[in-house]
């Protein structure tokens, strides 16, 4: 099940000026060099201390040189005790800032803007992970026989919710301190803020549950807190599901209302994606007929939302060809995010400038179990990221099953390291607290 890259037609130069190469100035004042964004892909490449390291710097330097106007990092965790994976990066009040400065410098080295995606996984926590598993309600991720892979979440208390708002604000402030140009608040793909938005995951009866206004309260509070703690010129974006693709879940009408609620809070861009671990549309594993027939999975929904959106929109999911990116802009979207395509060919935006037909072919993973297929698809992408971080070319013929097996070995090693780090950190914090009490 290979990925393949089509050869560029270097004998002919496409001189037509494409709108995807035009600059765009967001409300906070930053001018993005073009409309192509390196969308977030979770790298799971943290070194000791849950920090970015040399391979990450090399990877992001490579992307910055490839022609994208903006780079969004893979998700950075706001809570050290809640990680999407054991090799996740953590930026909280205790994290050293120097590695993050190096990361930002590498990502901006080619002239791109760089935004840090900040996230809390909520209930989408592996069962063998230490730390906490929180959610709006005590409802575990439902994946049939695969449900046991996930922890049983605890319904969050009011204090835990308030602390989470503060954690997002702290991470945003420190991202600005490190030299990032903006942050993207992750409220999609079934992570914590997305869980609060979902009427399926959120069964609360207090002020955070029930109506959409209540379910959106946490996202709005996080957005306000982030906007208040960073400079007015610092970009703030939000990643939002266009739909969850689950019956009775968060849908396009809900997304339209949430975008309207976000608009007066100083949000510069809303990125549209879709799905969750339970319905992994973001990896092309959705049965919805609005995504299956499209290269850009969520284009139809994005075009519908763009008609009335008061905020610039970005579309991510499956785009590999310039004409499709141009179609998205023509449909009212302002930015196009490329993910897996840039894991295979980080120079694709530069190639689009000289050859409008240049593309990366991403053949689908055909494993019948959607949860396993989604995991294999992501493992295959991360394998390419690790190769790029080592200065090696991508391997288009990578087998997703083999990639998943290798990923599991790496994850076990990372889990041991994370356990020790979290235990040492917790012990150090406890000792410091006891000294303060004395």
Residue 354 pLDDT > 70: yes
Which tens digit of pLDDT belongs to each residue from 116-127?
Answer: 999 999 999 999
Instruction: Find the mean pLDDT for residues 260-289.
Output: 71
pLDDT of residue 392: 95
Residue 14 pLDDT > 70: no
Closest C-alpha to 338, from 35, 115, 52, 109: 35
Render the burial of 309-343: b for 16+ CB within 10 Å, e for the rest.
bebbbbbbbbbbbbebbbbbbebbbbbbbbbbbbb
Which tens digit of pLDDT belongs to each residue from 138-172?
Answer: 999 877 777 788 899 999 999 999 999 999 999 99
For domain 3-437, the question of CATH label 3.20.20.70 is answered with yes
pLDDT top residue among 13 and 90: 90
Instruction: Find the mean pLDDT for residues 217-240.
Output: 98
DSSP assignment string, 24-83? EE-TTSPEESSSEEE--------BTTTB--HHHHHHHHHHHTTT-SEEEPSPEES-TT--
Residue 288 pLDDT > 90: no
Question: From the CA atom positions of the chain, what is the Rg in Å?
Answer: 20
* pTM assigned to the model: 0.91
Listed range (5-9, 24-28, 213-217, 365-369) with the worst mean pLDDT: 5-9
User: At 436, is the pLDDT very low, low, confident or very high (cuts 50, 70, 90)?
Assistant: low
Helices (H), 180-296: 192-197, 212-215, 217-229, 252-262, 289-292
Listed range (105-119, 135-149, 257-271, 277-291) with the worst mean pLDDT: 277-291
Instruction: Find the mean pLDDT for residues 357-370.
Output: 82
Inter-residue contact 311 to 258 (CB < 8 Å): no
Instruction: Find the mean pLDDT for residues 412-436.
Output: 84
Tell me how far apart the alpha carbons of residues 60 and 146 are, in angstroms, rounded to a whole number. 33
Instruction: Find the mean pLDDT for residues 273-299.
Output: 52
Q: Give the mean pLDDT of the chain.
A: 89
**Residue corresponding to tokens 């598993």:** 133
pLDDT of residue 92: 98
Helix (H) or strand (E) holding 187: strand 182-187
Helix (H) or strand (E) holding 327: helix 322-330
Listed range (17-31, 165-179, 353-367, 378-392) with the worst mean pLDDT: 353-367
pLDDT of residue 285: 39
pLDDT of residue 112: 97
pLDDT of residue 20: 97
pLDDT of residue 2: 36
Cβ atoms within 10 Å, residue 65: 15
Instruction: Find the mean pLDDT for residues 85-111.
Output: 97
Tell me how far apart the alpha carbons of residues 273 and 96 are, in angstroms, rounded to a whole number. 32
Instruction: Find the mean pLDDT for residues 174-199.
Output: 96
Tell me how far apart the alpha carbons of residues 16 and 357 are, in angstroms, rounded to a whole number. 13
Question: Structural domain boundaries of the chain?
Answer: 3-437
Residue 286 pLDDT > 80: no
Cβ atoms within 10 Å, residue 218: 25
User: At 5, is the pLDDT very low, low, confident or very high (cuts 50, 70, 90)?
Assistant: very low
pLDDT of residue 431: 64
């Amino acid at each position: 099940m290979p990925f393949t890259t089509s050869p560029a037609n270097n004998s002919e130069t496409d001189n037509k000026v494409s709108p995807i190469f035009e600059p765009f100035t967001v409300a906070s004042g930053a001018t993005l060099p073009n409309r192509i964004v390196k969308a977030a892909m979770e790298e799971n490449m943290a070194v000791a201390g849950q920090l970015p390291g040399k391979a990450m710097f090399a990877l992001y330097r490579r992307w910055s040189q490839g022609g994208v106007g903006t780079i969004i990092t893979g998700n950075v965790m706001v809570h050290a005790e809640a990680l999407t994976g054991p090799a996740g990066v953590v930026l909280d009040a205790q994290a050293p800032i120097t590695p993050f400065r190096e990361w930002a410098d590498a990502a901006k080295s080619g002239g791109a803007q760089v935004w840090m995606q900040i996230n809390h996984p909520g209930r989408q926590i592996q069962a063998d992970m230490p730390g906490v598993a929180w959610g709006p309600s005590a409802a575990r991720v439902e994946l049939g026989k695969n449900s046991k892979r996930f922890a049983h979440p605890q319904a969050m208390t009011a204090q835990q919710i308030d602390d989470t708002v503060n954690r997002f604000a702290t991470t945003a402030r420190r991202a600005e301190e490190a030299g990032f140009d903006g942050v993207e608040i992750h409220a999609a793909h079934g992570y914590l803020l997305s869980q609060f938005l979902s009427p399926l995951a959120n069964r609360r009866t207090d002020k955070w549950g029930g109506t959409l206004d209540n379910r959106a309260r946490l996202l709005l509070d996080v957005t306000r807190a982030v906007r208040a703690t960073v400079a007015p010129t610092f970009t703030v974006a939000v990643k939002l599901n266009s739909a969850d693709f689950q019956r009775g879940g968060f849908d396009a009408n809900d997304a339209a209302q949430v975008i309207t609620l976000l608009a007066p809070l100083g949000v510069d861009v809303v990125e549209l994606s879709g799905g969750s671990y339970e319905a992994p549309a973001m990896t092309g594993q959705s049965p919805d007929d609005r995504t299956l027939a499209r290269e850009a999975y969520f284009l139809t929904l994005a075009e519908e939302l763009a008609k009335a959106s008061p905020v610039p929109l970005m579309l991510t999911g499956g785009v590999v060809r310039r004409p499709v990116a141009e179609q998205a802009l023509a449909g009212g979207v302002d930015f196009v995010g490329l993910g897996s395509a840039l894991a295979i060919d980080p120079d694709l935006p530069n190639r689009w400038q000289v050859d409008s037909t240049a593309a990366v072919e991403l053949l689908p993973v055909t494993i019948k179990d959607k949860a396993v297929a989604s995991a294999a698809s992501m493992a295959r992408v991360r394998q390419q990221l690790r190769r790029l971080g080592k200065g090696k070319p991508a391997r288009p013929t990578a087998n997703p099953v083999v990639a998943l097996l290798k990923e599991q070995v790496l994850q076990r090693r990372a889990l041991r390291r994370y356990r020790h780090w979290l235990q040492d950190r917790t012990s150090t914090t406890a000792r410091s607290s006891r000294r303060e009490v004395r």
